[in-house]
């Protein structure tokens, strides 16, 4: 399992310290992470609009134009799953932190041991927040884990969802499924969605998946899909 972290901190020394602590914790836990540092709420929101798939946010509260609490409220308006950890030198915003269901409120200076304890709790919660979609399959409803979906292919008026263990035929349009899966799958062709997690390689004409199946990629989709692939495996 891979996890994406964002550190939103306008003090560069603090940001680098938190990044090092997170990396050390991940090494001890044996988990793979991607960590991105943002020096302002505005820079994070610009990135977040493009890609909302973050698992843990470490937010400094005292930042410039937009403070960490305001940023957290914006995120919580559409995302209940991401784990928010506030970091600050002042206790005044603690009540507001609870309003956005923050996982914890850490006071500076933050010890590596204390941060590790909070990250353990974040990891535990994330394990309970596997993303699922509820789909009509034949005459029943099925709960499908998005992380297990390899790709989706259109056949006439039916879409075939290929997972790690089975193939499901569903009467949804590919556009409807694209909306359901959000940023977890990417459209590579008018008849295909793929999960970047299962991409082995990309050329200008096709994608090879981990199961050695190849799917076409349209010229207009190549740049977006390639960028998504690079981002998924660009671990710091």
CATH 2.40.50.1020 holds for 132-233: yes
Closest CA to 60 of 126, 105, 96: 105
pLDDT at 219: 93
**CA 68 – CA 134 distance, rounded (Å):** 33
H-state helical runs in 36-160: 41-50, 68-76, 94-99, 112-127
CA 85, 91, 96 angle in degrees (round to 5)? 60
Q: Is 205 helix (H, G, I), strand (E, B) or coil?
A: coil
pLDDT at 93: 59
Domain residue ranges in the chain: 2-127, 132-233
Per-residue pLDDT of the chain (236 residues; tens, 9 = 90+): 578 899 999 999 999 999 999 999 998 988 888 899 999 999 999 999 888 878 999 999 888 787 788 898 899 888 888 999 999 887 665 555 556 778 888 889 999 999 999 999 998 888 766 677 888 898 888 888 888 899 999 988 899 999 988 999 999 999 999 988 877 899 999 999 999 989 999 999 999 999 899 999 999 999 989 988 887 765 43
pLDDT at 228: 85
For the domain made up of 2-127, the CATH class stated in words is alpha beta
pLDDT at 65: 80
Which of the 8 DSSP states describes residue 198? G
pLDDT at 126: 83
pLDDT at 158: 92
């Amino acid at each position: 399992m891979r996890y994406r972290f964002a550190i939103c901190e306008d003090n560069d020394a603090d940001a680098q310290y938190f990044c090092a602590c997170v990396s050390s914790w991940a090494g001890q836990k044996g988990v793979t992470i991607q960590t991105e540092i943002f020096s302002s709420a505005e820079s994070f929101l610009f990135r977040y609009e493009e890609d909302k798939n973050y698992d843990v946010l470490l937010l400094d509260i005292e930042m410039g134009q937009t403070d960490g609490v305001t940023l957290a409220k914006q995120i919580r308006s559409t995302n209940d799953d991401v784990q928010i950890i506030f970091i600050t030198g002042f206790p005044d915003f603690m009540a507001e932190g609870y309003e956005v269901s923050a996982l914890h409120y850490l006071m500076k200076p933050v010890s590596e041991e204390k941060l590790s304890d909070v990250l353990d709790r974040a990891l535990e919660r994330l394990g309970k927040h596997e993303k699922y979609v509820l789909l009509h399959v034949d005459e029943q409803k099925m709960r499908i884990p998005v992380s297990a979906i390899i790709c989706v292919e259109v056949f006439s008026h039916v879409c075939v969802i290929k997972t790690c263990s089975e193939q499901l035929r569903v009467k949804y349009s590919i556009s409807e499924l694209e909306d359901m899966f959000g940023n977890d799958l990417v459209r590579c062709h008018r008849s295909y969605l793929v999960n970047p997690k299962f991409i082995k390689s990309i050329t200008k004409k096709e994608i090879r998946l981990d199961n050695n199946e190849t799917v076409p990629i349209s010229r207009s989709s190549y740049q977006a899909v390639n960028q998504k692939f690079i981002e998924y495996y660009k671990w710091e």
